[in-house]
Amino acid sequence: MSVVDEIKQRIDAVELIGSYVPLKKTGATYKGLCPFHSEKTPSFVVFPDSQSWHCFGACGTGGDIFTFVMRRENLDFAGALKLLAQRAGVELEPQSAGARVQAEHLERLRRINSLAAGYYHESLISSPEASSARRYLERRQLTDASLSAFQLGWAPDEWHHLESFLRSEGVSREEALEAGLLTANEAGNVYDRFRGRIMFPIRDLQGHIVGFGGRVLDDSQPKYLNSPQTPLFDKGRVLYGIDRAHRSIREGGTAIIVEGYMDVIAAHQCGATNVIACMGTALSEAHLDVLKRLCKTMVLALDADEAGLRAAERGAMAATE
Ligand code: ZN
Protein backbone atom coordinates (compact mmCIF):
# COMPACT_ATOMS: atom_id res chain seq x y z
CA MET A 1 0.00 0.00 0.00
CA SER A 2 1.32 3.45 -0.86
CA VAL A 3 1.94 6.01 1.87
CA VAL A 4 -0.86 8.15 0.46
CA ASP A 5 -3.31 5.24 0.65
CA GLU A 6 -2.16 4.38 4.13
CA ILE A 7 -2.76 7.95 5.28
CA LYS A 8 -6.17 8.02 3.63
CA GLN A 9 -7.09 4.81 5.39
CA ARG A 10 -6.11 6.26 8.75
CA ILE A 11 -7.57 9.73 8.52
CA ASP A 12 -11.29 10.22 8.21
CA ALA A 13 -12.13 13.12 5.87
CA VAL A 14 -15.13 14.21 7.95
CA GLU A 15 -13.05 14.27 11.10
CA LEU A 16 -10.13 16.07 9.49
CA ILE A 17 -12.14 18.70 7.62
CA GLY A 18 -14.46 19.01 10.61
CA SER A 19 -11.48 20.12 12.70
CA TYR A 20 -11.17 23.16 10.39
CA VAL A 21 -14.79 23.80 9.43
CA PRO A 22 -17.88 23.26 11.61
CA LEU A 23 -19.86 20.59 9.77
CA LYS A 24 -23.47 19.53 10.17
CA LYS A 25 -24.75 16.12 9.18
CA THR A 26 -27.44 16.32 6.52
CA GLY A 27 -28.53 12.88 5.38
CA ALA A 28 -25.53 10.92 4.15
CA THR A 29 -23.25 13.96 3.85
CA TYR A 30 -21.85 16.77 5.99
CA LYS A 31 -22.37 20.47 5.22
CA GLY A 32 -20.63 23.65 6.29
CA LEU A 33 -19.61 27.14 5.22
CA CYS A 34 -16.94 26.95 2.53
CA PRO A 35 -13.53 27.89 3.94
CA PHE A 36 -12.31 28.93 0.49
CA HIS A 37 -14.85 31.59 -0.37
CA SER A 38 -17.05 33.86 1.66
CA GLU A 39 -20.65 32.71 1.97
CA LYS A 40 -23.65 32.90 4.31
CA THR A 41 -25.44 29.71 3.25
CA PRO A 42 -23.48 26.44 3.49
CA SER A 43 -22.60 25.00 0.11
CA PHE A 44 -19.49 23.12 1.18
CA VAL A 45 -20.13 19.37 1.35
CA VAL A 46 -18.03 16.46 2.67
CA PHE A 47 -18.89 12.96 1.43
CA PRO A 48 -17.96 10.25 3.98
CA ASP A 49 -18.46 7.45 1.45
CA SER A 50 -15.92 8.70 -1.05
CA GLN A 51 -13.87 10.56 1.58
CA SER A 52 -14.00 13.66 -0.62
CA TRP A 53 -15.31 17.23 -0.47
CA HIS A 54 -16.80 19.74 -2.87
CA CYS A 55 -17.96 23.33 -2.82
CA PHE A 56 -21.20 23.82 -4.75
CA GLY A 57 -20.93 27.58 -4.29
CA ALA A 58 -18.87 30.31 -5.91
CA CYS A 59 -15.42 28.70 -5.80
CA GLY A 60 -16.46 25.26 -7.01
CA THR A 61 -13.36 23.59 -5.58
CA GLY A 62 -13.13 20.02 -4.37
CA GLY A 63 -10.89 17.03 -3.82
CA ASP A 64 -9.62 14.72 -1.10
CA ILE A 65 -7.95 15.30 2.27
CA PHE A 66 -4.66 16.17 0.56
CA THR A 67 -6.09 18.90 -1.65
CA PHE A 68 -8.05 20.22 1.32
CA VAL A 69 -4.95 20.55 3.51
CA MET A 70 -2.93 22.01 0.62
CA ARG A 71 -5.48 24.77 0.11
CA ARG A 72 -6.32 25.38 3.74
CA GLU A 73 -2.73 25.35 5.05
CA ASN A 74 -1.27 26.84 1.92
CA LEU A 75 1.11 23.92 1.38
CA ASP A 76 2.45 22.10 -1.63
CA PHE A 77 1.81 18.34 -1.92
CA ALA A 78 5.02 17.43 -0.08
CA GLY A 79 4.05 19.73 2.78
CA ALA A 80 0.54 18.30 2.99
CA LEU A 81 1.98 14.79 2.88
CA LYS A 82 4.27 15.57 5.78
CA LEU A 83 1.51 17.13 7.86
CA LEU A 84 -0.99 14.34 7.23
CA ALA A 85 1.60 11.60 7.72
CA GLN A 86 2.35 13.02 11.13
CA ARG A 87 -1.32 13.26 11.99
CA ALA A 88 -1.87 9.68 10.85
CA GLY A 89 1.23 8.37 12.61
CA VAL A 90 2.58 7.09 9.30
CA GLU A 91 6.32 7.19 8.79
CA LEU A 92 7.50 8.69 5.53
CA GLU A 93 10.18 6.74 3.72
CA PRO A 94 13.46 8.57 4.24
CA GLN A 95 15.07 9.66 1.00
CA SER A 96 18.86 9.57 1.33
CA ALA A 97 20.79 6.46 0.22
CA GLY A 98 22.00 5.76 3.75
CA ALA A 99 18.50 6.14 5.10
CA ARG A 100 17.19 3.83 2.40
CA VAL A 101 19.67 1.11 3.36
CA GLN A 102 18.60 1.55 6.97
CA ALA A 103 14.93 1.38 6.00
CA GLU A 104 15.53 -1.85 4.08
CA HIS A 105 17.39 -3.29 7.02
CA LEU A 106 14.47 -2.52 9.35
CA GLU A 107 12.11 -4.02 6.80
CA ARG A 108 14.12 -7.27 6.89
CA LEU A 109 13.99 -7.32 10.69
CA ARG A 110 10.20 -6.82 10.54
CA ARG A 111 9.95 -9.72 8.12
CA ILE A 112 11.93 -11.93 10.51
CA ASN A 113 9.58 -10.98 13.34
CA SER A 114 6.62 -11.74 11.19
CA LEU A 115 8.06 -15.15 10.20
CA ALA A 116 8.67 -15.92 13.88
CA ALA A 117 5.14 -14.83 14.83
CA GLY A 118 3.72 -17.17 12.19
CA TYR A 119 5.88 -20.00 13.46
CA TYR A 120 4.88 -19.45 17.10
CA HIS A 121 1.21 -19.12 16.20
CA GLU A 122 1.18 -22.32 14.16
CA SER A 123 2.91 -24.07 17.01
CA LEU A 124 0.26 -22.86 19.51
CA ILE A 125 -2.60 -23.97 17.30
CA SER A 126 -1.32 -27.37 16.23
CA SER A 127 1.59 -28.71 18.21
CA PRO A 128 0.73 -31.39 20.83
CA GLU A 129 3.36 -29.87 23.09
CA ALA A 130 1.35 -26.64 23.28
CA SER A 131 -1.72 -28.31 24.80
CA SER A 132 -1.01 -26.93 28.27
CA ALA A 133 -0.67 -23.44 26.78
CA ARG A 134 -3.97 -23.87 24.96
CA ARG A 135 -5.63 -25.03 28.19
CA TYR A 136 -4.22 -22.03 30.03
CA LEU A 137 -5.64 -19.62 27.43
CA GLU A 138 -8.98 -21.42 27.54
CA ARG A 139 -9.06 -21.02 31.31
CA ARG A 140 -8.44 -17.32 30.76
CA GLN A 141 -11.48 -17.49 28.45
CA LEU A 142 -9.75 -16.16 25.36
CA THR A 143 -11.66 -17.08 22.21
CA ASP A 144 -10.10 -18.56 19.09
CA ALA A 145 -10.92 -15.30 17.32
CA SER A 146 -8.86 -13.37 19.89
CA LEU A 147 -5.97 -15.82 19.63
CA SER A 148 -5.83 -15.30 15.91
CA ALA A 149 -6.54 -11.53 15.97
CA PHE A 150 -3.62 -10.98 18.35
CA GLN A 151 -1.67 -13.84 16.76
CA LEU A 152 -0.79 -15.45 20.07
CA GLY A 153 1.79 -18.19 19.87
CA TRP A 154 3.79 -20.83 21.65
CA ALA A 155 7.58 -20.98 21.75
CA PRO A 156 8.49 -24.67 22.10
CA ASP A 157 10.61 -25.57 25.10
CA GLU A 158 13.59 -26.30 22.87
CA TRP A 159 16.91 -24.61 22.27
CA HIS A 160 17.15 -24.51 18.49
CA HIS A 161 13.67 -24.89 17.01
CA LEU A 162 13.09 -21.30 15.96
CA GLU A 163 16.69 -21.01 14.88
CA SER A 164 16.34 -23.94 12.44
CA PHE A 165 13.02 -22.64 11.18
CA LEU A 166 14.45 -19.18 10.49
CA ARG A 167 17.48 -20.71 8.79
CA SER A 168 15.16 -22.70 6.52
CA GLU A 169 13.57 -19.38 5.59
CA GLY A 170 16.93 -17.95 4.60
CA VAL A 171 17.34 -15.74 7.67
CA SER A 172 20.94 -15.26 8.76
CA ARG A 173 21.93 -15.99 12.33
CA GLU A 174 23.24 -12.42 12.73
CA GLU A 175 19.93 -10.90 11.78
CA ALA A 176 17.95 -13.30 13.95
CA LEU A 177 20.20 -12.27 16.83
CA GLU A 178 19.71 -8.62 15.98
CA ALA A 179 15.94 -9.09 15.93
CA GLY A 180 16.29 -10.42 19.49
CA LEU A 181 14.83 -13.84 18.65
CA LEU A 182 18.06 -15.68 19.29
CA THR A 183 20.53 -15.03 22.04
CA ALA A 184 24.08 -16.13 22.81
CA ASN A 185 25.83 -17.17 26.00
CA GLU A 186 29.35 -16.23 27.06
CA ALA A 187 30.80 -19.23 25.28
CA GLY A 188 29.29 -17.92 22.05
CA ASN A 189 26.62 -20.60 21.78
CA VAL A 190 23.55 -19.29 20.04
CA TYR A 191 20.06 -20.48 20.96
CA ASP A 192 16.36 -19.52 20.95
CA ARG A 193 15.68 -16.66 23.38
CA PHE A 194 12.06 -17.65 24.02
CA ARG A 195 11.48 -21.22 25.20
CA GLY A 196 8.39 -22.74 26.75
CA ARG A 197 6.44 -19.49 26.67
CA ILE A 198 3.13 -18.15 25.38
CA MET A 199 4.13 -15.54 22.83
CA PHE A 200 2.55 -12.13 22.34
CA PRO A 201 3.68 -10.32 19.18
CA ILE A 202 3.98 -6.59 19.92
CA ARG A 203 3.06 -4.29 17.06
CA ASP A 204 3.54 -0.64 16.31
CA LEU A 205 0.81 1.76 15.23
CA GLN A 206 1.16 0.58 11.64
CA GLY A 207 0.76 -3.05 12.64
CA HIS A 208 4.37 -4.13 12.11
CA ILE A 209 5.67 -6.62 14.66
CA VAL A 210 8.48 -4.88 16.51
CA GLY A 211 9.05 -7.39 19.28
CA PHE A 212 7.58 -10.08 21.51
CA GLY A 213 6.53 -10.70 25.05
CA GLY A 214 6.70 -14.27 26.33
CA ARG A 215 4.90 -15.62 29.38
CA VAL A 216 5.72 -18.82 31.23
CA LEU A 217 2.97 -21.21 32.29
CA ASP A 218 4.49 -22.22 35.60
CA ASP A 219 6.13 -20.24 38.39
CA SER A 220 9.55 -20.00 36.80
CA GLN A 221 11.18 -16.61 36.48
CA PRO A 222 11.01 -14.25 34.80
CA LYS A 223 7.24 -14.59 34.42
CA TYR A 224 7.40 -12.28 31.41
CA LEU A 225 10.33 -12.02 29.08
CA ASN A 226 10.34 -9.27 26.45
CA SER A 227 12.45 -8.74 23.38
CA PRO A 228 15.65 -6.89 24.19
CA GLN A 229 16.25 -3.41 22.86
CA THR A 230 16.60 -3.79 19.07
CA PRO A 231 16.52 -1.37 16.14
CA LEU A 232 12.75 -1.98 16.11
CA PHE A 233 11.91 -2.55 19.75
CA ASP A 234 12.04 0.20 22.35
CA LYS A 235 10.25 -0.73 25.54
CA GLY A 236 9.68 2.90 26.41
CA ARG A 237 7.90 3.55 23.16
CA VAL A 238 5.66 0.59 22.33
CA LEU A 239 2.06 0.33 23.42
CA TYR A 240 0.64 -3.17 23.25
CA GLY A 241 -2.59 -3.24 21.23
CA ILE A 242 -2.16 0.22 19.68
CA ASP A 243 -2.45 -1.21 16.16
CA ARG A 244 -5.94 -2.49 16.94
CA ALA A 245 -6.96 0.34 19.29
CA HIS A 246 -5.92 3.56 17.57
CA ARG A 247 -9.06 3.97 15.52
CA SER A 248 -11.45 3.66 18.40
CA ILE A 249 -9.17 5.77 20.61
CA ARG A 250 -9.36 8.54 18.04
CA GLU A 251 -13.09 8.15 17.49
CA GLY A 252 -13.98 8.09 21.18
CA GLY A 253 -11.27 10.53 22.29
CA THR A 254 -10.20 8.26 25.17
CA ALA A 255 -7.44 5.73 25.68
CA ILE A 256 -7.53 3.23 28.55
CA ILE A 257 -4.13 2.04 29.68
CA VAL A 258 -3.88 -1.28 31.50
CA GLU A 259 -0.93 -3.31 32.73
CA GLY A 260 -0.80 -6.56 30.85
CA TYR A 261 -1.15 -8.22 27.48
CA MET A 262 -3.93 -10.47 28.74
CA ASP A 263 -5.92 -7.50 30.04
CA VAL A 264 -5.75 -5.84 26.62
CA ILE A 265 -6.93 -8.95 24.80
CA ALA A 266 -9.72 -9.62 27.30
CA ALA A 267 -10.91 -6.00 27.01
CA HIS A 268 -10.93 -6.05 23.21
CA GLN A 269 -12.77 -9.37 23.30
CA CYS A 270 -15.49 -7.68 25.37
CA GLY A 271 -15.74 -4.78 22.92
CA ALA A 272 -13.57 -2.26 24.78
CA THR A 273 -11.36 -1.64 21.77
CA ASN A 274 -9.67 1.51 23.09
CA VAL A 275 -7.58 -0.44 25.61
CA ILE A 276 -3.78 -0.66 25.36
CA ALA A 277 -0.90 -1.55 27.68
CA CYS A 278 2.58 -0.24 28.18
CA MET A 279 5.42 -2.65 28.93
CA GLY A 280 5.90 -2.66 32.68
CA THR A 281 4.01 0.12 34.37
CA ALA A 282 5.84 3.29 33.41
CA LEU A 283 4.13 5.64 30.99
CA SER A 284 6.88 7.49 29.16
CA GLU A 285 7.07 10.77 27.27
CA ALA A 286 7.24 8.78 24.04
CA HIS A 287 4.01 6.94 24.93
CA LEU A 288 2.30 10.24 25.64
CA ASP A 289 3.50 11.68 22.34
CA VAL A 290 1.74 8.89 20.50
CA LEU A 291 -1.41 9.12 22.61
CA LYS A 292 -1.72 12.90 22.59
CA ARG A 293 -2.01 12.77 18.83
CA LEU A 294 -4.94 10.40 19.11
CA CYS A 295 -6.96 11.60 22.07
CA LYS A 296 -7.42 14.10 24.88
CA THR A 297 -8.36 11.72 27.68
CA MET A 298 -6.21 8.91 29.05
CA VAL A 299 -7.49 6.60 31.74
CA LEU A 300 -4.92 4.66 33.73
CA ALA A 301 -6.43 1.37 34.87
CA LEU A 302 -3.40 -0.03 36.67
CA ASP A 303 -3.22 -2.44 39.59
CA ALA A 304 -4.08 -0.89 42.92
CA ASP A 305 -0.73 -1.94 44.38
CA GLU A 306 2.02 0.46 45.27
CA ALA A 307 3.85 0.11 41.95
CA GLY A 308 0.66 0.71 39.99
CA LEU A 309 -0.25 3.79 42.02
CA ARG A 310 3.23 5.25 41.65
CA ALA A 311 3.09 4.65 37.89
CA ALA A 312 -0.32 6.31 37.68
CA GLU A 313 1.01 9.32 39.55
CA ARG A 314 4.06 9.58 37.29
CA GLY A 315 1.86 9.18 34.22
CA ALA A 316 -0.46 11.92 35.36
CA MET A 317 2.46 14.23 36.09
CA ALA A 318 3.99 13.57 32.65
CA ALA A 319 0.64 14.10 30.93
CA THR A 320 0.13 17.54 32.45
CA GLU A 321 3.63 18.79 31.70
ZN1 ZN B 1 -16.36 27.55 -2.00
What's the pLDDT tens digit per position in 164-187? 999 999 999 999 999 999 999 988
Q: How far is the CA of 286 from the centre of ligand 1 (A)?
A: 40
Q: How far is the CA of 54 from the centre of ligand 1 (A)?
A: 8
Closest CA to 234 of 166, 292, 285: 285
For residue range 70-120, list pLDDT tens digits in order: 888 888 888 899 999 999 998 887 666 777 788 789 999 999 999 999 999
Mean pLDDT, the chain, integer: 90
Q: Using 50, 70 and 90 to split pLDDT, how confident is the model at 319? A: low
pLDDT number for residue 186? 87
Q: How far is the CA of 250 from the centre of ligand 1 (A)?
A: 28
pLDDT: is 38 or 168 the higher one? 168
99 class by beta-carbon count within 10 Å (0-12 exposed, 13-18 middle, 19+ buried): exposed
Q: How far is the CA of 8 from the centre of ligand 1 (A)?
A: 23
| Percent of the chain at pLDDT exceeding 70 | 94
Q: Using 50, 70 and 90 to split pLDDT, how confident is the model at 320? A: low
Q: How far is the CA of 76 from the centre of ligand 1 (A)?
A: 20
Say whether 310 sits in a helix, a strand or coil: helix
pLDDT number for residue 216? 95
Q: How far is the CA of 63 from the centre of ligand 1 (A)?
A: 12
Q: How far is the CA of 4 from the centre of ligand 1 (A)?
A: 25
Q: How far is the CA of 56 from the centre of ligand 1 (A)?
A: 7
Q: How far is the CA of 68 from the centre of ligand 1 (A)?
A: 12
Q: How far is the CA of 117 from the centre of ligand 1 (A)?
A: 50
> Across residues 60-64, what is the average pLDDT?
90
pLDDT number for residue 55? 93
pLDDT number for residue 123? 97
Q: How far is the CA of 55 from the centre of ligand 1 (A)?
A: 5
Q: How far is the CA of 30 from the centre of ligand 1 (A)?
A: 14
Q: How far is the CA of 46 from the centre of ligand 1 (A)?
A: 12
Q: How far is the CA of 5 from the centre of ligand 1 (A)?
A: 26
DSSP for 80-144, please give it: HHHHHHHHHTPPPPP-SHHHHHHHHHHHHHHHHHHHHHHHHHHHHHH-GGGHHHHHHHHHTT--H
Q: How far is the CA of 45 from the centre of ligand 1 (A)?
A: 10
Q: Measured between alpha carbons, how far is 201 from 199 in angstroms, rounded to an integer? A: 6
The number of C-alpha atoms within 13 Å of 173 and in the hemisphere containing its C-beta is: 9
Q: Using 50, 70 and 90 to split pLDDT, how confident is the model at 258? A: very high
Q: Using 50, 70 and 90 to split pLDDT, how confident is the model at 281? A: low
> Across residues 194-203, what is the average pLDDT?
97
- Reply yes or no on whether the pLDDT at 321 is more than 60: no
Q: How far is the CA of 127 from the centre of ligand 1 (A)?
A: 62
Q: Using 50, 70 and 90 to split pLDDT, how confident is the model at 303? A: confident
Q: How far is the CA of 64 from the centre of ligand 1 (A)?
A: 15
The count of other CB atoms within 10 Å of the CB of residue 161 is: 17
Q: Using 50, 70 and 90 to split pLDDT, how confident is the model at 312? A: low
